Structure 1
Amino acid sequence: MQEQANRGEPVQEQANRGEPVQEQAGHGRVLIGKVLGATEVEVDGVPADLGGPLPRRLVTALLAAEGRPVTEDSLADAIWGDDAPANPTSSVQAYVSRLRRTLGHAALPRAGEGYRLAVDDTDAARFAADVRRGRELLADERPGEAVRRFDAALARWRGDAYADLPHTYARTPLDELRAVAEEERLAARLATGDAPGVVGGLEAAVRAEPYRERRWELLILALYRGGRQAEALAALRRVRQRLADDLGIDPGPALQSLEGRLLAQDPGLLLPSRPAPAVRPLSHFFGRTTELAALAGLLQTARLVTLVGPGGAGKTRLAVEYAAAGDPWFVRLADVTEPALLPAAVAAAMGVRGATTDAIATALGDRPGLLLLDNCEHVVAAAAALALELLTRCPGLRVLATSREPLAVDGERLLPVAPLPAADAIALLTDRITGVRPGWRPDEAESATLARLAAALDGIPLALELAAARARVLGLAELLDMLHDRFPALGPVPRGALAPHETLEAAVAWSVDLLGAHDRALLLRLWPFEGGFPLSAVDDDLDALSALVARSVVAADTTVTPARYRLLEIVRAWCRQHDPDPSGSRERHAAWVRGLVEHHAPLLRGERSAHSIRVLNRELPNLRTGIQHDLRARPATALRTAGLLEWFWFRGGLVADGLPLLRAVLAAAPDGAATDRARAFLSASLLRYMSGDLGATDDLYAGLEVLRDHPDHEGEIVAAQGAYYESLYWSFRGDFDRAVAPAHRSMEAARAIGEEWILPAATMSLGAALAGAGEIEEGRRVLARAGAEAVAARQGWTAAMCGLLRARALLTAGPGGAGSARGGAHRRTGSSGSF
């Protein structure tokens, strides 16, 4: 039974209610089918590789049958529809054989003239069980628990049901049950007493499906309970008119009964009075459906859960929303100035006589309860010690903590509280601004500004709340302007808010002040980084960076390799304002950018070019910022860096980024090193050519003129490259005779200076010129040699271009012969490949 219980909550619920428990499917492994979105099958918790779209359709059709056999003909229809192959049965059998190797033979047994899929559970079944249990809890007048159960049910959806099948009979019942779950969740929230907060969701629900009368009933009831009787009656008129106009019917009995009770002001429409919870926020709660569901799941198995996240992210509000249905002991630790005073604060919240941990544990004994320790970060050691002792001595106690760093207690489970997603952040802003601007509705321009404002504030609820409060006296565009280059002066939090700090700046300062001197110094110099940074940006100081991540002032994205780190924008603004050496921080950032470019620039033409381009693309915001700093502070250095990125600008198609920057550095550093100026000119010519500017040779010849005396070895390399650029340019213009000489010049220069890695491209430019000039066979022979040299040098791009140019030369040897080559057969065709 314990093994069954571990497979999923619905199985455990069956056991709890005395219902028969489904036996394991018999294949020796636990298989979970997921159909509420793209089809997945988990084998022992690991997603299985189901193959391409056709075998996925087969699996989806079998899952839709819910364990019943499906004939081969039906499977073929599900997979191909009217486009079945000549022998669909053989193809179905081949897919089944392949899937058996992945899922196990016992999971896909033969059944009559078809097959069935034996899984231990499905997300659809778990969803249905969650909905059923939520409705039971609602009927038992346990609305807070019902809300969490409906949240868990709806969080299982990842997209459309049975999305891998074009059509299926199973989709309609699941979609209907999903709509029911959404309605019942709103009903449960209404039953908790959150009538004002639920109105917005119900308005959206009736707009989405205006003929579902249950949604109108809930909306009307919510308006009435929120003291908006006139609006409730208006909503009744709206639905009556809608049903009459669209369907020619009257409202159903439930709506008609509700109308009569509203007009009679029936007291039974109001919730019965009950004791108020210890903490009840006054404003509407947005988003966090996934986090609430995850929190509910964690606290079923773990006795200590800590919500961790940056200041102002909404950890306290999330904890309070979770605990609202119960009666937790809420301890506000932001008011505790000394760790030694922590037991006294907990004892006071619990009503325990004696300000010691021992007195609390003795008073609690075996009693069940939830202790909510809010804002532990400044007394984290004391909070950890108290939690550990109480959990050890009081088996019925659970602890929910909020902190900017973990308590690091054995058995602790962490739930990160990230900033709000864009849609929820915008919804919160809109709601709060409506509160200070009655009747306001954003127009199209204001909606766009709201989105930018939410992004600029990183989706941090505290920052959004404070910005909305300022909207009473400032326009949205003015609010957005406040966030540029300085910490936002958004004013104090409103009275009655749960935030432990009076201002946004105080919230950030609270986090920074808890850091050690070394970690704080590192944080203060990270603000110039744009778009994040890797570990190398902090000189591989993993310990300090780990401390910043642990204390929620730096966010870590470990889903990418290498891991990436970033400061929230409000933290960046605070650090920029409080950095004791901002010019030094900018210089360190620019030096890191220079080092990055110097390292990767030589690799942009070799076998690791793709990797270097990916790295530089990821750091493009930092490249822009670093080069712009040097453009102001040390133009000659900016000239070198921008020119070294020549092939990055070109291969990435970054004309809009690279060309203006190259123009700026050339103008700012007229006395820069000849090699650097020449490279920048050649880079500009590449980008001008890519944009279709036939004047690209102006920059090309300007660069070659700078290098006429070959001032150094690096300059000789640039000159050799510039020569084959010149050759390819004239070939692609159709002036092949003019292209031969610079190609020879490039090859001779490469050999003379011992840089033979240039030869494949230079030889390719000669082959293109010869073939275009009418020497087809000689041109193809030279191109073949260039291709072989490129392969040997692992220059895959050049090798591919040689093959393309050889093929074009062969085509020109057909009808029309060499004359067609002179007509420009090569013109522009290979421009994105090698020039």
Structure 2
Amino acid sequence: MLTCRVLGPTELGAGRGPVELGGPLPRRLVTALVAAAGRPVGGDALAQAVWGDEPPASPEVSLQAYVSRLRRALGPGHRDALERVGDGYRLTGAQTDAAAFEAEVARGRELLDAERPAEAVRVFDAALRLWRGEAFADLAGTAVVEAPRARLEELRQVAVEERLAARLAAGDAPGAVAELAPAVRAEPYRERRWELLILGLYRSARQAEALSALRQVRALLADDLGVDPGPALQSLERRLLAQDPGLLLPSRPPARPRPAAPRPVVTRPLSTFVGRAAEIATLAATGPSARLLTLVGPGGAGKTRLAVEYAATRHDGAGDGPWLVRLADVTEPALLTSAVAAAAGVHQPAEPGPDGLALALADRAALLILDNCEHLVAAVADLVVALLARCPRLRILATSREPLGVDGERLLPVAPLPPEDAVALLVDRIGTVRPGWRPDPGEQAQLERLAGALDGIPLALELAAARARVLGLGELVTLLGERFPALGRVPRGALAPHATLEAAVAWSVDLLPAADRALLLRLWPFEGGFTMEAAVSVGSDLEALSSLVTRSVVAADTTVAPTRYRLLGIIRAYCREHDPDPAASRAAHAAWVRALIERSAPELRGERSAHAIRLLNREVPNLRAGLTHDLGADPAAALRSAGLLEWFWFRGGHVSEGLRMLTAALTAAPDAPAVDRALALAGCGILRFIGGDIDGAAECLWQAKALLAEPDSQDGRRLVSQLLYYEALLWAATGDYATGAARARESMAVSERIGERWATPAGEMALGGALAGSGELAEGRRVLEAAAAHAGELRQNWIAAMSELLLARAWLAPADPDPAAALRALGAALERFREEDDVGNVLSCLHTGAYAVTLSGRPAQGATLLAAVRRHGSRRGLRPDATDPATTTSLAAALDEALDPVTRAAAEADGAALDEAAMIATLWAGQEQSHARR
């Protein structure tokens, strides 16, 4: 069993022994994951939790290292509990002392309600003994645990009070008073403690002191807060002054007679309940202590089924219920009270409206389920306030597409099913219409595509599975296409309140105010999500977007910065079909994409290049959609945008896609301005170059130069300088170092002449590489070191990194190799390229590193690293072998000499399993501290 203790300093246990976490930073990581209660925590949020405002240069690498160390510490039996999800992680299957505390408090309350106070005291004692200090102490003062910590601390105070109430109810008034006096001093504004103290004094035959305490709390509240005591204290005061004999009873007064009515039953559907283990666990832990808990999520997500499954497995002992009220059938607020009364078996309340219903239910202990509240939110909220204020033993579980907005309401988001559960649901339901069916590997892949296309929405999955009776899985995937999925009607006996999936989505959309609905219908062109700034471009603002999120038609991911918003696939499809002007919506989206590119492209050349790469990487689906639109609607604009993204395509690792987009744009816009066509051709040239097509690269660069024979703009002149240093790199790769050096000097001269001195280090870098390749090693190394320093001064981080990469290769020249110096230069280059999120050149560094470690006496590691680099490069259209032929040839010869075929094959097989972090670890394995990366 994996156990986590967070009610004090964080401790982790696996099996019978503790897990050594290794220091404060790993403990902070574990604490943040435990606080998320099984939900994924994004990489940015984890970095903020672990390092605060001073993260390391590569926090994702450090997080991976901590996670790897934790997995090893957990051992084979529990290492899978720490899962990678997207760019973050989650911890699953762990039993926490926080959850145990909440469960014990809930059990103590049940015992107290059942008039078993002595047992309740023991249970509350056990619950409070779980505390060893502050909750989530290792992350004290951080935002990531603020909400769960506040909730646990409040429940701790409640547990103290409930324990003392149980002690009073058990007849130990003097002992309770002895504890209540300091408890009141510690929290003087908690009226519950004063109430218990006054009652304890009265039961201890200390009537005068009880009245004195009443006067004290009245004065305290009036002087400090300007308020009167609450209803409970005021009632107690009246009963004290009247010397009510009931105050001396050790237990609750007998409940009022209940009306004779059949006990309502919540019927579970006949189909299997799949997934939702985390939500059920949360309901079991918090449901008994929560007066109002609302399940919030989009239509079809399974909120009703979750509530019914929870209610059907609950047993409240002597209590009533659970009572299920299906509000989808209640069309008018005036009918709400009668619907609840009918579910509770109250046929004729003594008074009409909420007050009469509250009076009828005042002494009844039950769970009331209010299902589908979204169209009656205001009326339901008013009724809930009235019931909870007057019915102390009533708990309410609501389902809605937006919160009720009642003070004290707890929310449990019900998101779409994760991929594995969505596929499991499909398999289960398809099995009911295809007896004996089990998916083969091909069908498994189709199931995964189907689950993804339907966004894991249970209602959509159920309907798709029903169609599998007459359609194959491949046909079902095709059926979805670009249109709203026509998946048929909901079967009889299902819990869904709507007859079709489209009706369920329409219900959500039609409930929106007109302005919000109009905005939602314009958001569908965004692919892969969007930011607040993007939504503003189509007419949104924070208030409108917040309204859509609140109503569960737009999802918000707050674990990344800036917050990212997304429409579920079925809602996007609905909006696409019901948008009154889809062409205008696409055009507005494409205009935002063009503006984003125009704004980001200059940053790719400067000190904010890493920020620009990360921003554009997040928006790749939107870039693709916008460019595709412009290829048909405005090819010249598409050509300019694709060309401006030149450095993004290769530095972000999008070689194949960039080349396709640039080629299509060049074909579609033959009459575009010369500078725009030349920029696109330059992009094609560099992409072909790093993809290994040297001849194709040369042809593109020469065409671009021909277009710019007489540039008449600063952009054109700047591009000439850039083309010259591209040519320098190309000539050096083909072995013509003299021409490469000449082109590099021309590039530097042009940069100086036109005043673009930021571009000079690029020419210096190309010159140094050419000189080293020609055999002028000392001069080449000197020029490359100067280029790196010059680029660093100008904050041209990428050019500095390229200079260091070429310097590393210069230190590996056969005439005078120095592997240690090469590794030092590679370490600096790697760190810069990783800061820039430059996937392609990280692989180039590792390719050169394979030769360096081989020359350092580690040929097996060199072979492993080379195999891993080639595998990752082939997946991205990158060929480091072709762009650095000298290293490739020397490395092949060195490996042939150092390793026999069997050893080399085994080492290369090891490389098949390495990710980027593991490749970097392989590069440095066995290095002394003096050969560190900096």
- TM-score strictly above 0.5: yes
Deviation of the 1:580 alpha carbon: 0.6
Structure 2 residue runs of 5 or longer lacking an equivalent are 22-26, 35-48, 51-62, 79-93, 111-261, 316-320, 819-881, 890-934
1:633 pairs with 2:630: no
The 8 Å contact of residues 460 and 501 in structure 2, kept in 1 or not, is answered as: yes
Which of residues 339, 346, 350 is equivalent to 2:344? 350
The 8 Å contact of residues 331 and 372 in structure 1, kept in 2 or not, is answered as: yes
Q: Partner letter of residue 329 of structure 2?
A: D
* Residue of structure 2 in register with 1:302 after alignment: 290
Instruction: Report which stretch shifted further, 37-46 or 614-623.
Output: 37-46
**CA distance change for structure 1 residues 418 and 806 in 2, over 3 Å: closer, same or farther?**
closer
For 1:368 and 1:582, locate their aligned partners in 2 and report how far apart those are by CA, in whole Å.
53
* Residue of structure 1 in register with 2:561 after alignment: 561
**CA distance change for structure 1 residues 285 and 554 in 2, over 3 Å: closer, same or farther?**
same
**CA distance change for structure 1 residues 36 and 314 in 2, over 3 Å: closer, same or farther?**
farther
The 8 Å contact of residues 519 and 547 in structure 1, kept in 2 or not, is answered as: yes
* Residue of structure 2 in register with 1:707 after alignment: 708
User: Is the partner of 1:742 in helix, strand or coil?
Assistant: helix
Which of residues 513, 520, 529 is equivalent to 2:517? 520
Which of residues 296, 300, 307 is equivalent to 1:319? 307
1:31 pairs with 2:19: no
1:733 pairs with 2:742: no
Q: Tell me the alpha carbon deviations over residues 236-270 of structure 1, each in whole angstroms, 9 at most, x when there is no partner.
A: xxxxxxxxxxxxxxxxxxxxxxxxxxxxxxxxxxx
* Residue of structure 1 in register with 2:675 after alignment: 675
Which of residues 455, 474, 477 is equivalent to 1:480? 477
Deviation of the 1:765 alpha carbon: 1.5
**CA distance change for structure 1 residues 547 and 404 in 2, over 3 Å: closer, same or farther?**
same
For 2:576 and 2:69, locate their aligned partners in 1 and report how far apart those are by CA, in whole Å.
54
For 1:538 and 1:392, locate their aligned partners in 2 and report how far apart those are by CA, in whole Å.
41
Deviation of the 1:791 alpha carbon: 1.3
Aligned pairs (5 A) from 1:575-614: 575-614=575-614
For 2:31 and 2:67, locate their aligned partners in 1 and report how far apart those are by CA, in whole Å.
22
The 8 Å contact of residues 14 and 74 in structure 2, kept in 1 or not, is answered as: no
* Residue of structure 2 in register with 1:802 after alignment: 803
* Residue of structure 2 in register with 1:437 after alignment: 434
Deviation of the 1:648 alpha carbon: 0.8
Q: Partner letter of residue 516 of structure 1?
A: P
Aligned pairs (5 A) from 1:67-106: none
Which of residues 268, 277, 285 is equivalent to 1:280? 268
Q: Partner letter of residue 12 of structure 2?
A: K
**CA distance change for structure 1 residues 337 and 36 in 2, over 3 Å: closer, same or farther?**
farther
The 8 Å contact of residues 264 and 343 in structure 2, kept in 1 or not, is answered as: no
* Residue of structure 2 in register with 1:790 after alignment: 791
Deviation of the 1:377 alpha carbon: 0.4
Deviation of the 1:517 alpha carbon: 1.8
Q: Partner letter of residue 592 of structure 2?
A: W
Q: Partner letter of residue 460 of structure 1?
A: I
1:717 pairs with 2:718: yes
Instruction: Report which stretch shifted further, 772-781 or 568-577.
Output: 772-781
Structure 1 residue runs of 5 or longer lacking an equivalent are 1-9, 12-23, 65-120, 138-273, 818-823
1:491 pairs with 2:488: yes
User: Is the partner of 2:694 in helix, strand or coil?
Assistant: coil
* Residue of structure 2 in register with 1:328 after alignment: 322
User: Is the partner of 1:671 in helix, strand or coil?
Assistant: coil
The 8 Å contact of residues 801 and 830 in structure 1, kept in 2 or not, is answered as: no
Instruction: Report which stretch shifted further, 470-479 or 553-562.
Output: 470-479
Deviation of the 1:766 alpha carbon: 2.0
For 2:629 and 2:439, locate their aligned partners in 1 and report how far apart those are by CA, in whole Å.
38
Deviation of the 1:301 alpha carbon: 2.1
* Residue of structure 2 in register with 1:392 after alignment: 389
**CA distance change for structure 1 residues 719 and 441 in 2, over 3 Å: closer, same or farther?**
same
The 8 Å contact of residues 731 and 827 in structure 1, kept in 2 or not, is answered as: no
For 1:774 and 1:43, locate their aligned partners in 2 and report how far apart those are by CA, in whole Å.
51
For 1:545 and 1:54, locate their aligned partners in 2 and report how far apart those are by CA, in whole Å.
39
**CA distance change for structure 1 residues 60 and 683 in 2, over 3 Å: closer, same or farther?**
closer
User: Is the partner of 1:388 in helix, strand or coil?
Assistant: helix
Number of aligned pairs?
A: 604
Q: Tell me the alpha carbon deviations over residues 206-263 of structure 1, each in whole angstroms, 9 at most, x when there is no partner.
A: xxxxxxxxxxxxxxxxxxxxxxxxxxxxxxxxxxxxxxxxxxxxxxxxxxxxxxxxxx
Deviation of the 1:825 alpha carbon: 12
Deviation of the 1:727 alpha carbon: 1.0
TM-score calculated relative to the size of structure 2? 0.61
For 1:514 and 1:122, locate their aligned partners in 2 and report how far apart those are by CA, in whole Å.
41
User: Is the partner of 2:599 in helix, strand or coil?
Assistant: helix
Which of residues 397, 410, 413 is equivalent to 2:410? 413
1:655 pairs with 2:649: no
1:338 pairs with 2:338: no
Deviation of the 1:700 alpha carbon: 0.7
Which of residues 421, 426, 430 is equivalent to 1:424? 421
Aligned pairs (5 A) from 1:18-167: 30-36=8-14, 123=96
User: Is the partner of 1:31 in helix, strand or coil?
Assistant: coil
**CA distance change for structure 1 residues 320 and 655 in 2, over 3 Å: closer, same or farther?**
same
Deviation of the 1:807 alpha carbon: 4.9
* Residue of structure 1 in register with 2:745 after alignment: 744
* Residue of structure 1 in register with 2:859 after alignment: none
Q: Tell me the alpha carbon deviations over residues 313-357 of structure 1, each in whole angstroms, 9 at most, x when there is no partner.
A: 000110011101343111111111111211111112122214521
Instruction: Report which stretch shifted further, 738-747 or 302-311.
Output: 738-747
Which of residues 378, 381, 398 is equivalent to 1:381? 378
The 8 Å contact of residues 31 and 43 in structure 1, kept in 2 or not, is answered as: no
The 8 Å contact of residues 103 and 285 in structure 2, kept in 1 or not, is answered as: no
User: Is the partner of 1:35 in helix, strand or coil?
Assistant: strand
For 1:582 and 1:301, locate their aligned partners in 2 and report how far apart those are by CA, in whole Å.
48
**CA distance change for structure 1 residues 502 and 708 in 2, over 3 Å: closer, same or farther?**
same
The 8 Å contact of residues 102 and 285 in structure 2, kept in 1 or not, is answered as: no
Deviation of the 1:802 alpha carbon: 2.4
Q: Partner letter of residue 525 of structure 1?
A: R
Q: Tell me the alpha carbon deviations over residues 572-627 of structure 1, each in whole angstroms, 9 at most, x when there is no partner.
A: 00000100111111111111111111111111132221121111111111111110
Deviation of the 1:534 alpha carbon: 1.2
Q: Percent identical across equivalent pairs?
A: 59
**CA distance change for structure 1 residues 573 and 581 in 2, over 3 Å: closer, same or farther?**
same
The 8 Å contact of residues 266 and 311 in structure 2, kept in 1 or not, is answered as: no
**CA distance change for structure 1 residues 375 and 337 in 2, over 3 Å: closer, same or farther?**
same
**CA distance change for structure 1 residues 369 and 796 in 2, over 3 Å: closer, same or farther?**
same
The 8 Å contact of residues 731 and 826 in structure 1, kept in 2 or not, is answered as: no
For 2:67 and 2:628, locate their aligned partners in 1 and report how far apart those are by CA, in whole Å.
48
For 2:290 and 2:414, locate their aligned partners in 1 and report how far apart those are by CA, in whole Å.
18
* Residue of structure 2 in register with 1:545 after alignment: 545
* Residue of structure 2 in register with 1:246 after alignment: none
* Residue of structure 1 in register with 2:617 after alignment: 617
For 2:702 and 2:605, locate their aligned partners in 1 and report how far apart those are by CA, in whole Å.
23
The 8 Å contact of residues 692 and 883 in structure 2, kept in 1 or not, is answered as: no
For 1:543 and 1:815, locate their aligned partners in 2 and report how far apart those are by CA, in whole Å.
66
Q: Partner letter of residue 703 of structure 1?
A: A
Q: Partner letter of residue 444 of structure 2?
A: S
Q: Partner letter of residue 312 of structure 2?
A: A
The 8 Å contact of residues 732 and 830 in structure 1, kept in 2 or not, is answered as: no
The 8 Å contact of residues 489 and 499 in structure 2, kept in 1 or not, is answered as: yes
* Residue of structure 1 in register with 2:904 after alignment: none
Deviation of the 1:668 alpha carbon: 0.5
Deviation of the 1:781 alpha carbon: 3.7
Q: Partner letter of residue 345 of structure 1?
A: A
* Residue of structure 2 in register with 1:529 after alignment: 526
